[in-house]
Copies of this chain bind each other. A is one copy, B any other.
């Protein structure tokens, strides 16, 4: 085994001290003032300062994976393969359902309305005709039109705010900023936490300053657990918001058990369980009461599992709002 876990006897709960220590040791967010301004402007524009009712529902969709730097002047880092496809697709369906969306995404991952483009759309979709004409290559013309016009449309109308992150440090600081800025919206806010957040990290202060040298022996690394922020998000940052987290496993035998554990441990309203190999076909929506399997409609072309998934979550969110307000 390349990796092994340490003492299982260690404290299960995330203590406030652990979280304070994580944030204290994190490199400060470079553009935090700019993010604060963007958030304020976005919420004002959507009249969400004192929102209620269907028109004012907002969701923060997190998407893509976080990196864990292994060196302070970062050359190497641990990453994960998350493409951001789930987050991008879900964002489209939330917008369609009338939600305002904050898309907190990993730089370079999949963007809303761009899912059916080729791998390098910029170089693959266009053709140079002459000095003043650039043409869209035929097989891609529909996809390009949708990507550019639909994306432009929601950004210009101010229904979509996109905030990029790279490291685990950036992600958790930004999530805290978004969450506290949405606290005033109470149950009308939703968190749809589809980002693949690193479980382990190297605390900034114990990190090598310079590039790790490749000598002649093996490299031994010791990473510590990232404090579980889900519990803090629920308890402190946005206690009335509707919270959905994801559980991804490659081993389906432990998937539902782990989803149940996440539900009770972090007090999520919903945990969406998905297995790596079938995640675009089927997911299981796990709540305290039930486990509902949600499948992609295979009878129609171009249908996504996110279509029925978001419909179901929007219904559950509506019930949460009614319950919270009564």
Contacts and interface: CB of A to CB of B under 8 A. Distances in A.
A147 B126 CA distance: 10
A144 to B, nearest CB: 7
Nearest to A225: B214
A148 B128 contact: yes
Nearest to A109: B108
A213 B207 CA distance: 23
Contacts of A23: none
A217 B196 CA distance: 20
Interface in A107-141: 107-108, 111, 114, 117, 119-123, 125-128, 131, 134, 136
Nearest to A150: B128
A123 B147 contact: yes
Copies in the complex: 2
A63 interface: no
Interface residues of A, number: 78
Interface in A213-242: 213-225
A302 interface: no
B70 A3 contact: yes
A80 B211 CA distance: 11
Interface string A286-307: 0000000000000000000000
Given A1-B206, A218-B224, A221-B2, A108 B111 contact: no
A97 interface: no
Contact of A2 (B5, B148, B206, B249): B206
Contacts of A215: 5-6, 8
A208 B70 contact: no
Given A76-B80, A128-B145, A1 B208 contact: yes
Interface of A: 1-12, 67, 70-71, 73-81, 107-108, 111, 114, 117, 119-123, 125-128, 131, 134, 136, 144-145, 147-149, 151-152, 196, 199-200, 202, 206-225, 248-251, 276-277
